[in-house]
């Protein structure tokens, strides 16, 4: 068998890949949705936060998620003045605070707490999860061989109250090189406790 030329380059190895069972979670920056101008979003948010203060709904570690436009139709089918839905997330008890605002009247029409409602991850939360994960030497070592790694999140939801992750904001981080997802490292970040768990045995409970 002929020997390879002396100047032959070693064949590049492709990273081991996984196919996520669902597409990576969309991450929303802490701004209005696309059809809500920033100024209107800020007004709606300000009204919401003032209305929440007497009931102490936003105390503790609470983050603003988004403002969305609600299109309301009258009985005759005509579209009325828009309302705006403002969502916050309270970490201490895994609760969303959902408010409906009428900006024309300058009033909060409804404000309710929704425990364990899945709400979108913000870009700031993803940045925090990424920072916590990359602070771990095993994660840095596993990713160090790849020059360009994209970090994508999957928000983990558990339904059993006996599960230690129940009521926590837990993110599974996926690491992508070009169009391929790495099989290692397996990283979960609990944003509620700022803990990072690595490996297949990261999530076990009785």
Mean pLDDT of the chain: 83
Four-residue CA torsion sign, 135, 136, 139, 142:
positive
Name the nearest CA neighbour of 174 among 139, 137, 205, 138.
Answer: 139
Is 81 a domain residue? yes
Q: What pTM was estimated for this model as a whole? A: 0.78
At 14 the pLDDT is: 32
Range of lowest pLDDT (3-17, 58-72, 92-106): 3-17
Sequence length of the chain is 206
Query: Could you tell me how far CA 158 lies from the centroid of its own chain?
Result: 15
**CATH number for position 85:** 3.10.450
Residues 177 and 194 placed together within one structural domain of the fold: yes
Residues 108 and 31 placed together within one structural domain of the fold: yes
Residues 77 and 111 placed together within one structural domain of the fold: yes
Is 34 a domain residue? yes
Domain that holds residue 35: 27-115
Euclidean distance between CA atoms 155 and 176, whole angstroms: 16
User: Where a domain ends, among 115, 141, 171?
Assistant: 115
Residues 88 and 133 placed together within one structural domain of the fold: no
Which whole-number Å values give the CA distances from 51 to 24, 43, 67, in the listed order?
Answer: 34, 12, 16
In tens, the pLDDT along 20-44 reads 333 333 344 444 455 799 999 999 9
In tens, the pLDDT along 110-143 reads 999 999 999 999 999 999 999 999 999 999 999 9
Beta strands across the sheet bearing 83-90: 62-70, 83-90, 95-102, 107-115
């Amino acid at each position: 068998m002929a020997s390879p030329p002396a100047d032959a380059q070693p064949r590049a190895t492709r990273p081991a890949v996984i196919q996520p069972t669902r597409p990576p979670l969309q991450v929303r920056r802490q701004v209005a949705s696309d059809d809500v101008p920033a100024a209107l979003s800020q007004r709606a948010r300000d009204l919401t936060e003032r209305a929440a203060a007497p009931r102490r709904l936003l105390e503790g570690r609470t983050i603003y998620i988004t403002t969305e436009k609600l299109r309301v139709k009258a009985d005759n089918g005509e579209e009325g003045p828009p309302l705006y839905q403002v969502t916050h997330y309270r970490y201490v008890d895994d609760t969303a605070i959902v408010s409906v605002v009428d900006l024309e009247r300058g009033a909060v029409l409804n404000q309710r707490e929704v425990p364990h409602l899945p709400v979108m991850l913000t870009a700031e939360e993803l940045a925090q999860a990424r920072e916590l994960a990359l602070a771990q030497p095993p994660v840095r070592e596993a990713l160090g061989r790849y020059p360009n790694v994209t970090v994508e999140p999957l928000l983990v939801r558990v339904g059993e109250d006996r599960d230690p992750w129940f009521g926590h904001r837990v993110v599974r981080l996926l690491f992508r090189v070009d169009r391929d997802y790495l099989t290692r490292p397996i990283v979960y970040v609990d944003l509620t406790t700022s803990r990072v768990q690595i490996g297949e045995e990261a999530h076990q409970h009785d």
